[in-house]
């Protein structure tokens, strides 16, 4: 289990314990975290679970795969820290991961 820290665009912070094997998106969904819509349910078919990963964590995550990179083209204001939370599997190594939601999901 890992503690994931979700920060809303307005600065509201949510710290949630997410079981290993789930995705960061599922952790947000299961704990009613606002700002991650997850319209496609985790199929990497939209960009509504887009977040900005805290710079300290960028190199600790597995690299983005081609499908995620393609979907990020549809996200609101993506940048080099952008990830889709449906593509980040929770492991013990992610304990303390910090992600920030964009102003909106599209």
Residue 37 domain-assigned (yes or no): yes
Residue 62 domain-assigned (yes or no): yes
Sequence-distant (6+) residues with CB within 8 A of 10 are none
CATH of the domain at 52: 3.10.20.30
Cα–Cα distance measured from residue 71 to residue 25, given in angstroms and rounded to the nearest whole number: 15
Q: State pLDDT tens for residues 70-82.
A: 999 999 999 999 9
Q: What is the pLDDT of residue 19?
A: 98
pLDDT, mean of residues 63-71: 97
Residue 105 domain-assigned (yes or no): no
Q: Quote the tokens at residue 31.
A: 């704990």
Residue 76 domain-assigned (yes or no): yes
In the chain, % helix, strand, coil (3-state, to 5) comes to 25, 25, 55
Q: What is the pLDDT of residue 37?
A: 95
Residue 26 domain-assigned (yes or no): yes
Q: 48 lies in which domain range?
A: 2-100
Q: State pLDDT tens for residues 23-63.
A: 999 999 999 999 999 999 999 999 999 999 999 999 999 99
Q: For the chain, what is the domain count?
A: 1
Residue 106 domain-assigned (yes or no): no
Residue 57 domain-assigned (yes or no): yes
Cα–Cα distance measured from residue 67 to residue 6, given in angstroms and rounded to the nearest whole number: 23
Residue 32 domain-assigned (yes or no): yes
Cα–Cα distance measured from residue 2 to residue 89, given in angstroms and rounded to the nearest whole number: 11
Question: C-alpha distances in angstroms, 100 versus 51, 76, 84?
Answer: 5, 13, 11
């Amino acid at each position: 289990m890992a503690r994931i820290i979700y920060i809303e665009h307005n600065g509201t912070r949510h710290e949630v314990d997410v079981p290993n094997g789930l995705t960061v998106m599922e952790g947000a969904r299961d704990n009613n975290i606002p700002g991650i819509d997850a319209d496609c349910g985790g199929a990497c078919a939209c960009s509504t679970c887009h977040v900005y990963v805290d710079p300290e964590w960028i190199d600790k995550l597995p690299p983005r795969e081609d499908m995620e990179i393609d979907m990020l083209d549809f996200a609101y204001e993506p940048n080099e820290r952008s990830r889709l939370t449906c593509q980040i599997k929770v492991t013990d190594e992610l304990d303390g991961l910090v992600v920030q939601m964009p102003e909106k999901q599209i």
